Structure 1
Amino acid sequence: MRGKEIGTQATTTASYEKNDERILDGVDKYGARSQSETCMCRVHEQLRKVNKKAYLPEVAAIGPYHSRNKGSLKWMEKQKFRYLYLLLQSSPITLNEYVAAISDRIPMLFESYDDPAMDKGRLVEMVVLDGCFIVQLVRKFSMPELREENDPIFKMYWVLSSLQRDLMLFENQIPFQVLCELFDLIEIPNQYDMLIYLVFKFFSNLFPGQVYGQRINEISSSAPRINHLLELVHQMWLTPVGTLPSQSPSPPPPPRPIRRRRLFYSATDLQENGVRFRRMEKAGSQLNIKFKNGVLWIPPLTVEERTESFLRNLMAFEQYYPTNHNLVTAYVKFLDFLIDSPGDVEVLTKYGVIDNWLGDSRQVHRMFKKINSFITIHSTAYHPFAHLYDQLNDHCSRSVGGKIARMRRSLFRGSLALVCLTALLTLLLSVLVVTTTQTVYTARK
């Protein structure tokens, strides 16, 4: 009996030791890693399930998160190898030199992804292939003389359009430092303003709103601190000139109470309250929305097939890097407040605020109703539209036109209720008469 107890105890001890080994293995893998080191994250499941397709590549997998040898992604892998082959044919730099340049950054590269079990050698090969492809793609886009005569990527516009979309996916990124290293070998060293300009040109028709080239010089000085292309595009599009987070902007204004951080009126409501809409050309930033003398000036926004994916991935980026003040999230939320029905889309389209390439106002309405699901903004975060919301809410609360409109709606609802009640009573009376008649007729028979 004593021997059996000792055997059981030994087995239990061995089991604990194995558990300890697994725990220590996890500590070794994950314990020293911080979120700040991991700049290429995966989208969390709650956000993904609202619209899975918005986060999945259509033609090109970049980095290690998406399988590249299946379905529609296999064809682009062949194009990547073709681009690399042509690059090696036209350049004195060997493949080993490209690999060596990236291998020097293995610690940074390894810490950039949320998967410590990845094979480091395979990861280096992957980002060299992807990085050379991206650098050559943006170069060929702006310099047609570098293209092959029958380059299928530039012969089929839908492929180029899907590539622009796919390179903006949150899970489809490689470190921007890798692109800089490869660009140094392919072009002129340390000319990051040129790389950023080529990226700007490549994505120019993907931006759903206005973008201004004067931001390139400001961004290029902070190129080594940019995590990936998605962050670069975020800075190009919505971050106002002179306020890049990496350049220590002046502190934001004190936060307003959370109850003030919403607009209580849709576009139709605002119009009823005497607000006029105007399209703001050359706004300087998509965030430059002004309300003055009863006129709401808004920079135009193009809504097409790629717009939802573009906005969702920028918002996903902001969920993991809140230091950028959630500018895209706040902007999209503002549009969500304005668009409460397809009729609101039609109002904004009429005045040129929305350029609806989808054609159907209901599609645009549905997009904005779902796009903020599982998206959060902390109550103490800087909100770029807090003052604008105050202005519009105060204007509508004092608007005589709005009060008259609300009174009309009240009277209409009251009149409608009276009509419905009258119709119901008439129907009941008719049923009663028919029933009584039938009863009398039956009794006489």
Structure 2
Amino acid sequence: MQPSVEADSDTITRGIDEKLTQISPSPSECCIFRVHKQLRGVNEKAYEPETIAIGPYHRSKHSLQMMEEHKLRYLKLLLKRKGESSADRYVAAIKSREQEARRCYAEPISLNANEMIEMMVLDGCFIIELMQKFGMADLRDENDSIFQMDWIVRRLQRDLMLFENQLPFFILRELFDKIEGPNHHNRLIYLALCFFRDLLPGPGYREHVDGNSHFEIRHLLGLIHNNWLPSFAGIVPNGDGSNKKGNWRFIPNTIELQEAGVKLVKIEGASLFDIKFEYGVMKIPSLTIEDRTESFLRNLIAYEQYCPDNQLTYITDYVGFMDCLIDSPKDVEILSRRGIIDNWLGNNEVVSTIFSKISDARIGLPAISSMLILSTG
């Protein structure tokens, strides 16, 4: 039997206090997460950057180091354009927000304060300059390799929409205040919305900010999610003034719908999510499928899963609906002939597999794989 040793309260207290300093922020503070294994396991590459690391999660990867020099080059050109010889103004602006930014990340960050601030200044200034140069060709250097090859811009658009590859939006606002002057945040938002427009696979995207709906912008992915909206035409007011959706309907696949006499037609001018069923006709806006679409949709779904205060899960619902329609390459072929799917991949089987696997990954959300709320007009 071990002899009794009197407990040392001071040692215990110091041990607890040290552990408390190492614990991750509470979930309510976090807005940038690592995607959990069950979700990313279906297609891990969809959540991984191919070209650029933004934020702390992927910055150490060897394959992404090439863009670190571009970040420095863009900051150097920015300082030259502004007639500045030092980045001290940008560092001072971010230094005051370093702890707040650190709390936005759900995973512990190994960077010390100096490394964290340097990373945010370089990443943030690069993103702002990239979006400015995208919209204003006269700001580009004639030897800027990013804009000499379209594929690089396309990859950057993809990587900047990854859930794990984000900066807190208030960091971008702080830096934009120093670059363009204070209170031009709507201009920053407009630049971002224009930059990512090419990535959107369907209609409903707005390139303006509704002054009457100032939602909290957590990061670029959240901004794009909240500006690519359904019209909610299928939601009608209750007698108590609240809103409710239409009736649940079981949705067969495309072949079965056709065999039942249902017509599927493409509609123009509606949001991608405004799907209507009227008098035996299912009206569906056109969806473009290209090599970045799966990654984009997966990361939007991840955003919807990890943000419990965000009640809008229309991306998840839409993917579930498309999975209902698509059970086989033959379904994709029919939808393509109808103009409902614009298949840039050229392979119907690949498209069929994409929706099957995305739908399988919708873990932790209500199962809607065979149901959809339809507007009956």
Provide TM-score, normalisation by structure 1: 0.75
Q: CA deviation at 1:375?
A: 1.4
| Distance across 1 between alignment mates of 2:232 and 2:66 | 39
Q: CA deviation at 1:187?
A: 1.6
Letter in 1 for 2:159: D
| Distance across 1 between alignment mates of 2:212 and 2:222 | 13
Percent identity (aligned) = 45
1:77 alignment partner, one of 68, 75, 84: 68
Contact conserved, 2:34 with 2:107, CA < 8 A, in 1?
Answer: no
Q: 1:299 to 1:387 in 2, by over 3 A?
A: closer
Aligned to 2:291: 305
Aligned to 1:253: 244
Aligned to 1:289: 275
1:351 alignment partner, one of 329, 335, 338: 338
| Distance across 2 between alignment mates of 1:189 and 1:264 | 51
Q: CA deviation at 1:219?
A: 6.5
Letter in 2 for 1:294: G
| Distance across 2 between alignment mates of 1:298 and 1:268 | 16
Gaps of 5+ in 1: 243-249, 392-445
Aligned to 1:275: 262
| Distance across 1 between alignment mates of 2:366 and 2:50 | 36
Aligned to 2:47: 55
Indicate the SS of the match to 1:372: helix
Contact conserved, 1:110 with 1:120, CA < 8 A, in 2?
Answer: no
Higher relative contact order (CA 8 A, sep 6+): 2
Q: CA deviation at 1:217?
A: 2.5
Contact conserved, 1:55 with 1:309, CA < 8 A, in 2?
Answer: yes
Q: CA deviation at 1:55?
A: 0.4
Indicate the SS of the match to 2:283: strand
| Distance across 1 between alignment mates of 2:373 and 2:250 | 9
Indicate the SS of the match to 1:34: coil
Q: 1:50 to 1:220 in 2, by over 3 A?
A: farther
| Distance across 1 between alignment mates of 2:49 and 2:212 | 28
Q: CA deviation at 1:188?
A: 3.7
Q: 1:380 to 1:211 in 2, by over 3 A?
A: closer
| Distance across 1 between alignment mates of 2:127 and 2:242 | 36
Provide TM-score, normalisation by structure 2: 0.88
Q: CA deviation at 1:310?
A: 0.2
1:39 equivalenced with 2:25 (yes/no): no
- Compute the RMSD of aligned alpha carbons: 2.8
Q: 1:58 to 1:226 in 2, by over 3 A?
A: same
Gaps of 5+ in 2: 234-240
1:334 equivalenced with 2:321 (yes/no): yes
Contact conserved, 1:302 with 1:355, CA < 8 A, in 2?
Answer: yes
Contact conserved, 1:192 with 1:220, CA < 8 A, in 2?
Answer: no
Instruction: Please list the CA deviations of residues 43-99 of structure 1 after superposition, one character each: whole Å capped at 9, or x if unmatched.
Output: 01111111110000000000000034512x111111111000110111145411101
| Distance across 1 between alignment mates of 2:23 and 2:313 | 28
Letter in 1 for 2:45: K
Contact conserved, 1:196 with 1:220, CA < 8 A, in 2?
Answer: no
The 5 A counterparts of 1:320-331 are 320-322=306-308, 323-331=310-318
Letter in 1 for 2:90: Y
Aligned to 1:360: 347
Larger CA deviation: 106-115 vs 269-278 = 106-115
Q: CA deviation at 1:29?
A: 3.3
| Distance across 2 between alignment mates of 1:209 and 1:170 | 20
Aligned to 2:78: 87
Aligned to 1:128: 121
Q: How many residues align?
A: 365
Aligned to 2:238: none
The 5 A counterparts of 1:161-240 are 161-213=154-206, 216-218=208-210, 222=214, 225-238=216-229, 240=231
| Distance across 1 between alignment mates of 2:169 and 2:2 | 60
Q: CA deviation at 1:180?
A: 1.1
Q: CA deviation at 1:13?
A: 5.9
Instruction: Please list the CA deviations of residues 101-148 of structure 1 after superposition, one character each: whole Å capped at 9, or x if unmatched.
Output: 111212321211123454222111111100000000000001000001
Select the structure that is richer in helix: 1
Contact conserved, 2:204 with 2:228, CA < 8 A, in 1?
Answer: yes
Instruction: Please list the CA deviations of residues 231-282 of structure 1 after superposition, one character each: whole Å capped at 9, or x if unmatched.
Output: 001012135489xxxxxxx8542797xxx4x634101111111111111111
1:67 equivalenced with 2:54 (yes/no): no
| Distance across 2 between alignment mates of 1:134 and 1:329 | 28
| Distance across 1 between alignment mates of 2:246 and 2:261 | 29
Contact conserved, 1:219 with 1:235, CA < 8 A, in 2?
Answer: no
Indicate the SS of the match to 1:278: strand
Aligned to 1:99: 91
Contact conserved, 2:74 with 2:126, CA < 8 A, in 1?
Answer: yes
| Distance across 2 between alignment mates of 1:196 and 1:358 | 31
| Distance across 1 between alignment mates of 2:246 and 2:251 | 19
Aligned to 1:153: 146
| Distance across 1 between alignment mates of 2:261 and 2:364 | 30
Instruction: Please list the CA deviations of residues 387-425 of structure 1 after superposition, one character each: whole Å capped at 9, or x if unmatched.
Output: 45xx6xxxxxxxxxxxxxxxxxxxxxxxxxxxxxxxxxx
Indicate the SS of the match to 2:342: strand
